[in-house]
Structure formats: C-alpha cells, structure tokens
Chains A and B, each alone.
Chain A
Amino acid sequence: MNNHEPTPNTPLPGVRVAGLLAEFDGPEPLRLAAERVRDLGYVHWDVYSPYPVHGIERAMGIRPTVLPWLVLLFGVAGCAAAILMQWWMNARDYPVLVSGKPLWSLPANIPIAFELVILFAAAAAFIGVLGLNRLPQFWHPVFSSPRFRRATTDGFFLGIEAQDPRFHETSTRELLESLGATTVETCFAPATRPGLPAWVRWAGVIGVLVALVPPLWIARARAIRADRPRVHPIQDMDFQPRYVAQGPGPLFADGRAMRPPVPGTIPRSQPPADSLLETGLDNGKPITHFPLPVSQALMVRGKERYEIYCAVCHGLAGDGRGPVAIRALERAEPGWVAPRSLHVDAVRQQPVGQLFQTITRGLNTMPSYAAQLTPEDRWAVVLYIRALQRSQNARLDDIPRDKRALLER
C-alpha cells in the first residue's frame, strides 16, 4: 500500500494487496503498454477490454490455446463412439436384420457418426473454453475496483497481480503511470481464502451420496439373478385394447369388428373385362394368337418400345447381350439371373400369350413392365420379338425373291 498518496480504496483489516489495475485511454495505448509489460518480463498480468483487441495476443505474448486440439480429439472420439455403438448394438448384441441387408454397413452409420462428431467436438469447445478460462470464477481481485465495471462497456485496463515475482507496489505503479495509464489503483483480496460453510459441504456430500442410490440400485438389479420378473413399469405392450379381425365389435351396427368389402370389390384372381387383351390367357392357358389386329404400325411401335425398355438387357438382337446384362456378368452380381437369348428353342416355342405374361408379370430378375407398357404396347413388343426370332432363324425362303441374289453373291 502506497502511504504517500491517498487512493480511492483503503485496506481493511484482514485484507491484502492483490495487484494493481491501470486504466488506459483506448485499445492503442493499451497495446503499447502491454508490449512494455511483456518485455519487462512480468508473468501474472492481463489486460481487460470490452471486446477482443486486435493484435493483443502478440503484444502480450499469449501462446495459442490448446483448444483446437481438444476439439479435434473429442471429434475423433465422437466418431469412434458412434461407429462402435451402432456396430455393437445393431450388429453384435442384438442383430437387427432389415430386408436382408448387411447387419453392419458404413453408409447407414454415417448420419449418426456425423452428428456425434459435431456433438462431442462442440461440447469439448464449450466446456473446454470455460475450463481453460477457469469459469465460472465469481470472484477475482479486479472486481474489487468499482471502476472495473466499465471494462465490459468501454474501459481498457491492464492489471498486474501481486503474486508476480517482479511485482512491487511502488515501482510497478510508477511503471504503469509512465506507460500512460489514466488512473492506477490497488486491488485487494481477503488475506485468507474463506472456505465454504460446513453445512454446505455436508449438504454436498449427502447430495452426491443420495444421487448415487438410483444408479447403484439399477446396477444391482442388472447384475443379480431373481426369481420374480423384472420391474416393468410401462405395460402398454402387454395389454393392448383392440378388436380381433374376425371377432365381434361394438362399433358398427352389424356387430362385427371388421368391415366387409365395399360393393363391387373384385378378387385379385378375377380376370378383367377384356381378359384376352389384358392377360394373354384364355381359361388360364396362354393364347397362341394375337388378340388385336397385327399391322406394320404395331410392328414399328413394338420395335420402338423394345429398344427403349427391353434392349438394355436383352440386346438389340434379342440375344441377351444388352449392356446391363454384360455389366452384371462382369461384376458377378449376386442374385443376378442372366436374360436368356430369345432365340433358343424353349423361348421360340412359347405361345405369344406366355411372352405377354412374362412382360406383364416379370420373370426371375426381370421386373414387371406393366406400369411402363400398356397392354397394346406389350402385344406390340411380343410381335416385334416374334419378328426378331424369325430374323435370327431365317431360311432362304423367308427372303423376298428379288433380294436373294444379294445373299448369294
């Protein structure tokens, strides 16, 4: 305490000098002062400003924080935790089989791994910045200065703490004044650090012990063997109020739980009105003739549709060497059934109704094309297939007399 001149703060008994706080006139004088204090070798000091002053880290010689590395570490941990969790829970501990897909595959695990990377890393950044800044810290010697309240509005301060080896109340004060401080004042702290009251400590200990009871109880329940069934608080799944499909129910006048089909409902097996055209079946047997007039226009339409929908697998010539089929064979796709050549006897002997059925319903890996091709279009494709088959097994008689000379040459 400087005895020569009075300061706004007067020391009380049981109070020690904690440091000096100097106010500066803006960020630029503060930065210049910080450079001097740094060069003089002070260690326990800091500057205070209402916003981060540009370039102050270099002026003070602050080393980069480890925070980014902490965030990286936790991000990696989040990724590992997410992948391990999903693998263990869905592929290992309780394998969940969904539509025959692999029990564990990376793509399906990416969204949750991504979210947990962000969650872990963000939590590390948030908790890390508070921890490294030693927050919450509700008391600090600088708070003993009423003037310091302006540090969060427009005050620029430099504080040197008494614990610094170079700190000397008079010489440090003179230094700060020589650096252009507008005011320099002494900050105080209680001589002995007051501890928490005993009852608060005891309450804390008891609180922690009580909080441990439920997890310990659950842990015990999971570890021991018991004769009685486990505690099962939510019994929704055990007692489900519902009506059985074929049973009675009070909701409708006829006393049935289930509704009868609406009038006009037809079974799936019932043939549609124009069954020859739409199914290619007559009494369940494939028809052998076209149920619509055959024309050059129908043939042209069939060629066009065939080349759009069929040729990718069956090939333009119908030999089963379309690009999709070739690629599937090259890749040895599991479950792939290669398309048969349309020119083998087994296919050539099929009645047109059966070819129509194959297009309508699909066969092996071939899906139904009923959604893409109208019945007329399907017949057009069948017609074109017939033409293809004939072209690949043609006899000399099939060629018009005037064109035969071209082949014989």
Chain B
Amino acid sequence: MNTLAAPLEHDNTQNDPTRRPVLVTGPCDLASITETVSRIVEQPAPRAWYLALMVCGLGTLVFFGLVAYLISTGIGVWGNNSPVFWAFDIVNFVFWIGIGHAGTLISAILFLFRQKWRTSINRAAEAMTLFAVICAGLFPAIHVGRIWVIYWLAPYPNQMAIWPNFRSPLLWDVFAVSTYGTVSAMFWYLGMIPDLATLRDRATTPLRQAVYGALALGWRGSARQWHRYERAYLLLAALATPLVLSVHSVVSFDFATSVIPGWHTTIFPPYFVAGAIFSGFAMVVTLMVPARAFFGLKDLVTPRHLENMCKIILATGCMVGYAYGVEFFTAWYSGNGYERFAFANRALGPYAWAYWLMLGCNVLAPQLYWFKRWRTSPWRMVLVAVLVNVGMWFERFVIIVTSLSRDFLPSSWGFFKPTWVDLGMLAGSFALFLTLFLLFCRYLPMVAMAEVKAAIDGAGHGRVGSPSARAPVPREVQATP
C-alpha cells in the first residue's frame, strides 16, 4: 500500500461553492493513513536525515558548551552591559516563546472552532511548541547569572525566611512559562497516546514494542476510553486557549509594567500575542514545507493547509504592522518627550537598520501573500516565512535593545554589540530546536493519525472500513494455525 506511488494531483486550494474542499488528497482510507505516517518511523531513515541530525547535533553540543562557558565564567562573556542588561538572552527568550504559540493555537483554538484541517498539522506544530518552550526557558535560566541558586525563584520555605515578590511581572513570567510548558507537554502527550498505540501494535522488534508499549500506556481504543479521552482533549483545548493568550501577555508585562520609554504601553499584550502567532505560523510553514516533501506527507499536509497558514500569517502580519504604526501615533500624541525620543531613536537612531529590517520583513514581505501564487508555491511561501522569522527576531531586538540603550539620561546611554558567544548561542538554540524536531520526526507519529481518521469519517468522503481498503492482517495472525 504505497500511497506515494500514485499521489492524486488534486488542487484543493480552489474553492468550489458546490462541494467542500477535501481535507486530504490521495488514497485516504484508514490503512493508508496509518501506513503513510507510520512508515516514517518504521523504515530506515534516509541519509539526509542523519546528515541533518549530525549538523544540528553538533550545533547543540556547541550550544551547551557555550552555556558551560557562560556559567563557569560569568555573564560578561555576553555583550550585555550597563545600560543594556537585557539583550540577546531576553530577545531569544521572547522570540522562542513566540514561536511556540502557533502550536497551541492550531491545537486548541482551531479545535474549539471545529477547524478540521488542523488535524494534519497539529501534532508537528505542538511538538514545535514544546521544543520552542524548551529553547525559550533556557535563556532566562542562564541569564540570571548564578544558575545554581535559580531555585530561589520558587516559593519554597527557606532559611532566609523570605518569599518571592508576587507583584513582580518577572515572577509572573516564571509561573506563566512553566505552566505553558507543562500544559503543552500534557496536551501533546495525551493527543499522541492513540497514535503511540498504533506504533506499538505495528512494532516488529521487541525494543520498539517495549518503548512504544510503555509510552502508549496500554491504550486499547475502547469506546469508554475514547469518550473520556475526547472530553479531556476538549477540556485541555479550552484551558490551553486562554493560556496561550496569557503567556505572551505576561511576557509583555515584563516590559509594559516598567517605566522605560518604548516599553511602558498598554498595547503590548495584544501586540505581542499577534506577533507570537505570526512568528509561530511562519516557523510551522518554514519547517512543514520541507518536512512534508521529505517524509512523503504531501497527501496529508495539502496545499490547502499551507495556504490557510499563509492567510493567518498575512492577517497577523497586518495586525503587527498596525501596532507598529499605533506605537508611533501614541508616542506623538502622548506629548511625552522621552516617549517621542524613544520612537524617533528606533527609526533614525543607531539601530535604525534593525528597525527597517524588521519593518520590511514583518510588514512588507507578508503582503506577497495577497497573491495566490505566493500562498500556494511551497518555496515562495517558505521564503516569505523565513523573512518573517528574521523580522520577528529583530522586532524583539528593536524593542528591547534600542529602548534600553538610550533611556532618560543621555549620560548613561550605551551601545550594545553582541559577542561571538551571543551569536553562537543564538545559532545554537536553533540547532537545539531543529535537533529535537528531527528526532521527533523520526521517532514519534508526526501526524495525528486518529484525528485525521475521525475528521475524514466526519466529512464522509473516505472509504472508511470498506473491505477492499483493509490493511493486510499482521504477520502474527497469518502465522497462527
């Protein structure tokens, strides 16, 4: 049952009002969905995968080597210094947390809106969420300098007889990010249990049987189990939806509740959330386009999925562009000299190149998605998505570094320049993210098989359960007398 042998050349991006566009293309019976997704895990990995893993794994080693260097030497190995005490560390943190938002949005919000097309991409996007949160969480953890006392962030009874200050947004951040990581992991794992059971039941080696068997927890797919499972999934989606909106809002409080010009503004929470979704979807497009081509998932992750994501990028890109404009208006209208200066400095000061790069990548580049050709041609769409990723990294750089480098007192102005450690850790965090993603692609079900099957059954256009479409009976069955 090789679904790749005869892929149906079906363009499901054309809207025909008389019929629903298909969710997946090609032969889409239950067995072939399982086969398409499971074979990625079961067949030997292509050589390119090993090559990519080697490069990214090496980058990850460099990253952790730099972390060790930083911890053993001190924060001085970064370019951070008075007055720019937050630089690449916090820029990377906010960037990676933002990347994570698309996964939860696809899994939770689109689930609540009954957007069936999410089923093909939600698993991979959720994995990206989790890996992005891991990358994000590392930066503030090492940025505290004395990482060996990081447990002081936790409210635990101690010999100093004091507690953390719960009115500080930095502590809110600790709670928000750790809650987000925990809930994303639970949501991801719960969604994966039925698919892990599929891998367990198809496993041919004792090792696979043991590992996937342990991970599947003995899932049987009984109706009573499905009933509670579906309820739990709905509840987790309903809980994750406000959570995902709160996380970047709380991250933005780190800035908005301070008094630094350019930070102290009430537009930050919605503006940060829109930017997070924007960058997250750009990352999903950047990784899914090569992954679907590479792992033969073109029938499950169809052009329509990619086009939908491009539309979301376009919409959130316009929101972000609007926020950039409103920030300038508010600065001018406030009549506050420091605020006005902060924004004039962004656009015309020493970091003006970063500002205009951000504006070009985040506001102008996504406008190409108005054209259908750019929304449907995979490589064009990836080009724009990569630009958006670059632009969103620079957005955080512009907000954090330009505001800090020139605040109220000209005598305390400074200029931040990254060191090689800064640049190495930025690149290394990408390597860590990609390493985790590569491992995920190979060892876990990349597409939510059970959800795709349910979606196809609900849409009523799959040949569900017809005898001709049956999977071959496993070898053990045939062997039994």
Contact = CB atoms under 8 A, between A and B. Distances in A.
B17 interface: no
Contacts of B364: none
A207 B183 CA distance: 29
Given A49-B226, A50-B30, A149-B202, A71 B197 contact: no
Contacts of B9: none
Given A8-B480, A26-B465, A111-B253, A152 B157 contact: no
A147 B243 CA distance: 42
B34 A154 contact: yes
Contacts of B465: 25-28, 154, 156
Contacts of A222: 157
Interface stretch (B271-279, B418-426, B451-459): B451-459
Chain B's interface: helix, strand, loop or mixed, by majority?
helix
Nearest to B167: A108
Contacts, number: 241
Contact of A149 (B162, B190, B201): B201
Given A114-B246, A152-B221, A125 B239 contact: yes
Interface in A111-160: 111-112, 114-116, 118-119, 121-123, 125-126, 128-130, 132-133, 135-140, 142-143, 146-147, 149-154, 156, 159
Interface stretch (A87-95, A277-285, A333-341, A397-405): A87-95
Interface in A10-57: 25-28, 34, 46-54, 56-57
B223 A152 contact: no
Given A51-B454, A111-B246, A126-B186, A133 B225 contact: yes
B201 A151 contact: yes
B371 to A, nearest CB: 37
Contacts of B231: 64-65, 67-68, 129
Interface stretch (A171-179, A228-236, A247-255, A290-298): A228-236
A91 B192 CA distance: 43
B159 interface: yes
Contacts of B464: 26-27
A380 B308 CA distance: 60
Contact size class for A? 35 or more
B412 interface: no
A94 B194 contact: no
B373 interface: no
A109 interface: yes
B217 A130 contact: yes
B336 interface: yes
The winner among A47, A64, A115, A236 for most chain B CB atoms within 10 A is A115
A18 B449 CA distance: 30
Contact of B220 (A34, A48, A86, A94): A48
A392 interface: no
B453 A67 contact: no
A371 interface: yes
B474 A150 contact: yes
Contact of A115 (B165, B169, B246, B335): B246
A56 to B, nearest CB: 5
A406 interface: no
B453 to A, nearest CB: 4
A85 interface: yes
Contacts of B473: 147, 150
A62 B229 CA distance: 13
A220 B68 CA distance: 36
A200 interface: no
Contacts of B240: 118, 122
A292 B169 CA distance: 49
A146 B474 contact: yes
B268 to A, nearest CB: 14
Contacts of B34: 50, 152-154
Contacts of B165: 90, 96, 98
Given A27-B465, A152-B194, A133 B163 contact: no
A287 interface: no
B182 interface: yes
Interface string A216-239: 000000100000001110101000
A311 to B, nearest CB: 15
Interface stretch (B172-180, B317-325, B382-390): B172-180
Contacts of B253: 111
Interface in A188-216: none
B155 interface: yes
A51 B451 contact: yes
A60 interface: yes
Closest 7 CB pairs of A and B: A26-B465, A129-B232, A154-B30, A89-B163, A136-B217, A149-B201, A52-B226
Interface of B: 29-31, 34, 146, 148-149, 155, 157, 159, 161-167, 169, 171-172, 175-176, 179, 182-183, 186-187, 190, 193-194, 197-198, 200-202, 213-214, 217-232, 235-236, 239-240, 242-243, 246, 250, 253, 335-338, 449-451, 453-454, 457-458, 464-467, 469-471, 473-474, 476-477, 480-481
